[in-house]
Structure 1
């Protein structure tokens, strides 16, 4: 990575030197040229990362595991579905709790709904080793 950084530094130095020699009338063209080189370098880095992640996912699938779909290994559809189901179930629970305990029941019900959704959302962000969670790749499939 240091060689790439030094190459980029050399490119920047060359651009600045050319600006000194050519003057301010060529400044925008020099900046544009440098930014194009920087963009190509970033595109190359992103392409390499994407190819590496795709290869890693293919290895996981080839070994019989489940591919991680989201950044936290959880599918957006799963999170959205959980939220919708919890809200649908919250309606009758609210009616029952309000009828039985009044305003306190309403508050407790919605604190529970919010708590369950918060725990579900935070679950994917916590990075516990699989051994501590008690699951393995084969259990997840």
Structure 2
């Protein structure tokens, strides 16, 4: 497995590309590897059964031992591969500061609340300014900023010191 071969690139190489598609490619590659292992084990079992028919019962234990060694090696390889993937994912999460990228959020989900509050702030400003003057206008905008700040902290707890790691 070479690092330059994208088909055999591990999670760390995919992290360098920085996109979710790379992670999906990696998972698809692992599913393919697991499927190939399953096909190979089936072929080995068929070959072992054919060899047993040809050689007879006196070679049963040797054939079974040989087959079990192959299965054990494949299980070890699969476990090692999954442990390496899990460790790489943990390192990537630690490098991001424990935050998960929110690539699934649409533009409206990210900015919709802020735009709505700004749109509503226009008539609220007119009413507050007309009824209470400058102090009403200041109070209105402190409320708009406060509501947006609360929403930002709710969506991104890491904005407040000491809260990001505890919440996820």
TM-score, normalised to structure 1's length? 0.48
Select the structure of larger CA radius of gyration. 2
- Of structures 1 and 2, the one with the larger relative CO (CA 8 A, separation 6+) is 1
